[in-house]
């Protein structure tokens, strides 16, 4: 689910037509945590990474977002500083719209309910993910994170597979799964050995979606031990 999927083609086109198109190279910062919410960005092409920093400076990758997303919308509507940093995971194209213009756009098309629905669904999805990670073994944690990313940015690859562009090193999946990097890499190797996914440099191809989701639910055990390899709770 993203913003584009919840509005009509005409409403989406109106947003695109009102903004200024801009291209962002890989690793460019589109929005920075703590900055003033003076604009929103409608992502029309590419992939971005959403990262949040705590008071100690530790960074947590929260999610990936693809085309059809509107970035920075809650800050623009509520007038609050950005809650996370959005970085281009690869070359991106976005349409930048001033915050006041976006508020007018939302009011004109009566999109308050749409944005509320999207925000609540995202919060619930994130909470479900964090809750699931507490009781899953290592391989289940990694499978759950990969499954979550597949729901967010997965693209059909052939008849039965899904391509997940990561736009980041695979080790960052460990942070998302709240576990050590070495353990996450072992779990990814186990999933590949089980013919559930194929590993690329900055991408994954899920070749058996049903089994991945079974592992993510703790319904299939591939023999990876849990407990001692978990990272401290975050």
Residue 227 confidence (pLDDT): 43
DSSP bridge partners of 70: 42
Give residue-wise pLDDT tens across range 202-224. 889 999 999 999 999 988 877 64
Asked whether the beta carbons of 84 and 74 are under 8 A apart, the reply is no
Q: How confident is the model at residue 229 (pLDDT cuts 50, 70, 90)?
A: very low
Asked whether the beta carbons of 211 and 192 are under 8 A apart, the reply is no
Q: What is the DSSP letter of 227?
A: S
Q: What is the pTM of this model?
A: 0.81
The rounded distance, in Å, linking the Cα atoms of 231 and 204 is 23
Q: Answer positive or negative: Cα dihedral of 54, 183, 199, 137.
A: negative
Three-class secondary structure of residue 95 per DSSP:
strand
The rounded distance, in Å, linking the Cα atoms of 53 and 55 is 7
Any idea which residue has 């623009």 for tokens?
76
Tokens of residue 9, six digits: 């083609």
Give residue-wise pLDDT tens across range 92-136. 999 999 999 999 999 999 999 999 988 888 888 888 888 888 888
Give residue-wise pLDDT tens across range 36-91. 999 999 999 999 999 888 777 777 778 899 999 999 998 899 888 998 999 999 99
On average, the pLDDT of the chain sits at: 88
pLDDT of 232 higher than 70: no
């Amino acid at each position: 689910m993203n913003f584009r999927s919840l509005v009509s083609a005409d409403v989406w086109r109106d947003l695109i037509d009102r903004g200024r198109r801009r291209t962002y190279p890989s690793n460019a910062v589109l929005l920075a945590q703590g900055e003033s919410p003076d604009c929103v960005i409608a992502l029309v092409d590419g992939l971005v990474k959403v990262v949040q920093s705590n008071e100690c400076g530790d960074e947590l990758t929260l999610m990936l977002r693809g085309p059809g997303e509107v970035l920075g919308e809650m800050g623009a509507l509520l007038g609050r500083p950005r809650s996370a940093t959005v970085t281009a995971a690869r070359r991106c194209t976005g349409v930048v719209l001033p915050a006041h213009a976006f508020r007018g756009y939302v009011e004109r098309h009566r999109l308050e309910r749409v944005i509320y629905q999207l925000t609540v669904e995202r919060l619930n999805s994130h909470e479900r993910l964090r809750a699931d990670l507490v009781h899953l073994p290592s391989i289940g944690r990694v499978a759950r994170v990969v499954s979550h990313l597949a729901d967010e940015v997965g693209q059909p690859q052939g008849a039965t597979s899904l391509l997940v562009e990561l736009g980041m090193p695979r080790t960052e999946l460990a942070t998302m799964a709240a576990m050590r990097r070495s353990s996450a890499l072992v779990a990814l190797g186990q999933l590949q050995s089980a013919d559930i996914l194929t590993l690329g440099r900055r991408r994954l191809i899920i070749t058996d979606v049903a089994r991945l989701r079974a592992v993510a639910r703790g319904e299939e055990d591939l023999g990876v031990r849990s407990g001692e390899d978990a990272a401290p709770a975050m």
